[in-house]
Structures are given as C-alpha cells and as structure tokens.
Amino acid sequence: MKKSLKKLAPWLKWVVAISLLALLYYLNHETFEKFAQQEKPVDWSNALGALALCFAAILLTFYRWFLLLWALEMDVSLKDAMRLGFLGFASNFISLGAVGGDVVKAVVIARHQDTRRMLAVATVLLDRILGLLALFIVGASVAFFQSSATNHAVFRTTSVLFWTGSIVGLIVFGAVLHPAIPKSRLVEWMRTWPYVGKLILEFLNGVQLYQKRRKVLVFIVLISVIGHFLMLSSFYFCGIAVNSVKEIPDYFAHLLFMPAAEIAAMIPIAPGGVGTLEASIAYFYALAGSQEGAGTLMGFTYRAITLLIAGVGIVFYFSDRKKIVEAMDTSDDVNAP
C-alpha cells in the first residue's frame, strides 16, 4: 500500500501542476487570444535576453555545486558536474511519475563515489540550502533599498521572512565555519551514537574540509547572489517580451516580489514548481497593479524558456537513461561504503 502511494504521489503532483496551468489559462484566455492576434506578439530581442540571463543563472547553479564537490576533494570534473546539473534540471520535467531532479543528481553522483557516498549526496542538499540563503539575502537587500514599496502587508511579511532567513542563515553559516564546532563536546558525543556515529564522523570530516576552504564557500554564496539577480532580471525580460512595458511592474518591483514568488514555488505540491510558480507570478503581478493577464503571460513565457533549456538535459537523460534507471533501482544501497 505504501509503495503504491509512493509511486502515485509524483503523478498526483503533475495533476496539480497541469490543473493550475489550465486554470490560469482559463481565467486569462481572453488575454491569450488578444496576444495571439497581435501582428508581432513576441519581442524576440527581449525574449532572447531572458533566455540568455536564465541560462547563465542556471549554469552558475551547476558551477556552485561543482565547487562544493571540489572543496571536498571529490573526483568530479566541471564537465561532469554540468552534465549532471542539466540531467537533474531536465528530470524535473521528463521523469513523469518518478523522482525530482535533485534526487536523480544525488543518486547518480553517489554511484560514482566508491567512498563518502552520503557526503556526495549531502552536497546536493547543501547546494539547495546555500542557494536559498542567497535568495533570502537578495530579497532582504532589495527590501532594504525599497523600503517605501513594502507598505503592503504581503510585502512587509515577505520582507520579514527574507531578513529572518538571511540573519539565521548567516549565523548558522558562520557557526559551521568556526573551527571549534567539530571539536565541541556535543559533536564528540554525537560521534559515539550507534548506527549514525560513522555517518556523523563522515559529515564532520566534510565540514573540516570546507573550513579549510572558507573563501570558496563565501565565493559560492556570492555567485549565488549574482545568479539570483540574473534570474530575476530574466523574469523582467520575459515580462516585456510579451507585454508592453506600461502593462507590467517596473524592474525594481520585480526584484522586490519575484524572490517571494520563487519561495512560493518551492511548495512541494508540483514538480519543478510547474504551475505554482506561474500562479505566484500572476498573484504578485496583480498585487503590484499590472494589467490583467500580464503576469500569466509572463509566467508561461518563462516556463517555455526553462523547457527550452531543459532540452539540453533531455539529451543527457536519454543518452544515459539505462545507467540512470539502474542507479535509481539500486539507490537503496547508496549508504553502503
């Protein structure tokens, strides 16, 4: 019964995603019809600009993960990290009824490690955490410089969220990099725990390696911030590619509310944020006073761009599909040394 529900859950997520997209289209079908009837419905220069910015932002996330692996002295080349990055990105869209892209990346990278498999898997989670910390920092920074625009209750709430996440995240980040942490009595006691003691020791060894390369971790956070600004700019260019500049919020408004839309899209009810991101964009566009349907048009445009980029990963997916399936089928022994 549990196995059946486990297999059914991803499919239900796609049902949610497609239902949300269908609902958004139904509510804004008149806008889509008017858009299709225009002589020049798409501003291709801005669309290509959005594609370039989005592609660059995604490449930076792959490079960020590679640096995390390199700092642990793992035998993974930049080329392999990029390949697995594209593979994971594409898996969010093409692994219907299967697991998400992060899990695919984690399992495949673990299968390539004879030792420290769990540590390799942990880099995928750490990559996400550092990316989220950078998003919090971006959101908090924009809210600080646009404090006059945060009078709305929703923006005040998101500003508090971003500031809280940034402060807590930076405190934890600094604590992990402090050399006294691995030598503390609490950690020494945790190492003696049955079953998980060896795993904790493995993670501690990883922490000590990261502590030797503090500048790398700081650099990772910095490039993550840059990546988020590139992605937020991509959203804006998507907006002006299919809408008039007067019909959508300005660039700085995008910097203010799009981080919140990205956070909302992380709610795990749809694969890869499909549907939830588009709905979040439509909501924040309406909140910012844009023309009706402009946010939905922008969201669909951005999704088309991400699917185009995922096409690179689809090539890797089908070229290595047999190996990927074998790795996923034997993922239960990923903890083995």
Average pLDDT of every residue of the chain:
82
Through-space distance between the first and last CA atoms of the chain, rounded to whole angstroms: 31
Return the minimum-mean-pLDDT range out of 274-278, 307-311, 333-337: 333-337
- Domain-embedded: residue 202: yes
Rounded CA-CA distance 62/54 in Å is 13
In the prediction, which pLDDT does 114 show? 66
Out of 11-15, 32-36, 148-152, 295-299, the most confident range is 295-299
**For the segment 149-184, what is each residue's pLDDT rounded down to a tens digit?**
666 788 888 889 999 999 999 998 888 777 777 677
Once rounded to an integer, what is the mean pLDDT over residues 21-45? Answer: 87
pLDDT at 190 > cutoff 50? yes
pLDDT of 337 strictly over 60: no
Please calculate the CA angle 239-243-249 and round it to the nearest 5 degrees.
55
Q: Is 151 domain-assigned? A: yes
**Mean pLDDT score, 184-205:** 71
User: pLDDT digits over 324-336, tens only?
Assistant: 555 555 544 444 4
Indicate whether 19 belongs to any domain.
no
Identify the CA nearest to 189 among candidates 201, 206, 173: 201
Is there a domain that residue 179 lies in? yes
- Does residue 230 sit in helix, strand or coil? helix
Least confident of 59-68, 246-255, 314-323: 314-323
Comparing 271 with 199, which gets the higher pLDDT?
271
Predicted confidence at residue 323, as pLDDT, reads 58
Structural domain count, the chain:
1
**Spacing of C-alpha 69 from chain mean position:** 18
Instruction: Answer yes or no: is pLDDT of 93 > 80.
Output: no
Angle, nearest 10°, between helix axes 101-111 and 78-94? 140
Residue 53 lies in a domain: yes
Report the predicted TM-score, pTM, of the whole model to 2 decimal places: 0.84
Q: Is residue 274 assigned to a domain?
A: yes
Flag whether 284 is in a domain.
yes
Q: Does residue 182 or residue 5 have the better pLDDT?
A: 182
Q: Which domain holds residue 165?
A: 41-332
300 in any annotated domain: yes
Contacting residues for 322 by C-beta, under 8 A, at least 6 apart: none
Segment 5-19 mean pLDDT: 74
d(CA 115, CA 244) in angstroms, rounded, equals 55
